[in-house]
Chain A
């Protein structure tokens, strides 16, 4: 194991220990939480709605085209992509977007605080860097990734509906056929998005804290944050999905 990996894992253990520890909430910590909610949630929602809006259109367009070619009927496509949208694409794409937007931001901010010794200064002030810099975003992401997923799924649903109507003349009532969607799909979406919300700030924050070596180091930390947290999202997506498929 390389020295960097050891530092990274050591830091991650430290971050987890600190996040699990009890801490008192005061006005300052509530303010940090609100600002993180704003950063993770409000500032990402537009991005996610647009992305998933396009994904809904693309899925419907290609699915409808294929279905029309093979079975001559594109009416079945809507009901088939709905469950996929809910349990798979919605949470995963929302997770990937948050990994890109929030993960890089966190790693860059914390990394530059490390190289300018601001993190050392926090520690000298007895202010735990994890509580100050990571925990607020962690809490915010736990709340916000599920909410963002719902926004994303909704956007994909309506853009798919519009595409089905305009391109394939599928009536909205036919498109919005919920009979293939089960409660388990919603449970899966929730479990996935909460897990993504938990791992992204953890990984990005740890990458930030493990920074060394000036601005080049901050660059590396940022890249690592987006690569590792996206990878974590995809791997979790697979395992949670497979586990729940096993339950069906």
Chain B
């Protein structure tokens, strides 16, 4: 469904991605892992056109989107959406307005119709009590869950979760994991999850890809990682500071 072909990206003279090739299967949960600054967010943002590659290609359903204009991405961003790493609710809008904005823009509804849809949707997901609150009056974990709800309101075929469980309490993290798993199992939604959370990786990943120094270091089911003898992978798994991994 989504394919990266030899994607490279640099910011200034810092080469972040050095020829990443990767195929994402439809309806599966793919984890992208790697140390901080490895370029996980940069890589996944290529899919929805928030970052464009310097060279290489990103294919979505077989179509090369790497040179698309911003407008060409509009319909794609309805089918494939992203929950960004920061709890990126718009601080000048209430929760219900936050949820209504993408609904209005993507479905080209009027403001009131969009607000109505958003309100009933928040009811469905059990978050109606927060509808009128401003984002800065809520905790980080709650904001993250609302950002996830906002993305799912569009009923996408593919969702990219950038560190969805970071900053959540263990119970909420398990809930989010369950949600991701059921999206894939029940609705065949393709899920790409960026995470450091080993617990999530081993409980819900169909496949794990590790980025290291701008390239794919290892690619396979979670088990492959557990058994890997690669010194960098072993260091990442054990979380010890000393080892061959370059910081």
Which A residues form the contact surface with B (CB < 8 A)? 2-4, 26-28, 116-118, 120-128, 212
Q: With the chains together, A117 CA to B88 CA distance in Å?
A: 6
Set of chain A residues within 8 Å of B86, measured between Cβ atoms: 116-118
User: B45 contacts A125, CB within 8 Å?
Assistant: no
Set of chain B residues within 8 Å of A3, measured between Cβ atoms: 11-13
Q: With the chains together, A145 CA to B106 CA distance in Å?
A: 36
User: A117 contacts B12, CB within 8 Å?
Assistant: no
Partner-binding segment picked from B74-82, B176-184, B203-211? B74-82
Set of chain B residues within 8 Å of A120, measured between Cβ atoms: 45, 50, 82, 84, 88
User: A126 contacts B90, CB within 8 Å?
Assistant: no
* Candidates B11, B49, B105; contact of A212 at CB < 8 Å: B11
Task: Tell me the smallest distance from the CB of A130 to a CB of chain B, in Å.
Answer: 10
Task: Tell me the smallest distance from the CB of B10 to a CB of chain A, in Å.
Answer: 8
Could you list 12 A-B pairs, sorted by A, with CB under 8 Å?
A27-B111, A28-B111, A116-B88, A118-B91, A120-B45, A122-B90, A123-B70, A123-B77, A124-B102, A126-B105, A127-B101, A128-B70
Is B85 part of the binding interface, using a Cβ–Cβ cutoff of 8 Å?
yes
Interface size on B, residues (CB 8 A): 25
* Candidates A2, A4, A117, A127; contact of B84 at CB < 8 Å: A117
Is B48 part of the binding interface, using a Cβ–Cβ cutoff of 8 Å?
yes
User: B105 contacts A125, CB within 8 Å?
Assistant: yes
Q: With the chains together, A125 CA to B147 CA distance in Å?
A: 12
User: B50 contacts A123, CB within 8 Å?
Assistant: yes
Chain A proximity mask over B95-126: 1 for CB below 8 Å, otherwise 0:
00000011001100001000000000000000
Set of chain A residues within 8 Å of B82, measured between Cβ atoms: 120, 124
Set of chain B residues within 8 Å of A125, measured between Cβ atoms: 77, 101-102, 105-106
Set of chain A residues within 8 Å of B45, measured between Cβ atoms: 120
Q: With the chains together, A92 CA to B48 CA distance in Å?
A: 43
User: B105 contacts A127, CB within 8 Å?
Assistant: yes
Q: Chain A: which residue is nearest B106 at the CB level?
A: A126
Q: With the chains together, A122 CA to B101 CA distance in Å?
A: 9
Q: With the chains together, A28 CA to B90 CA distance in Å?
A: 15
Q: Which positions 57-79 of chain B face chain A at CB distance < 8 Å?
A: 70, 74, 77-78
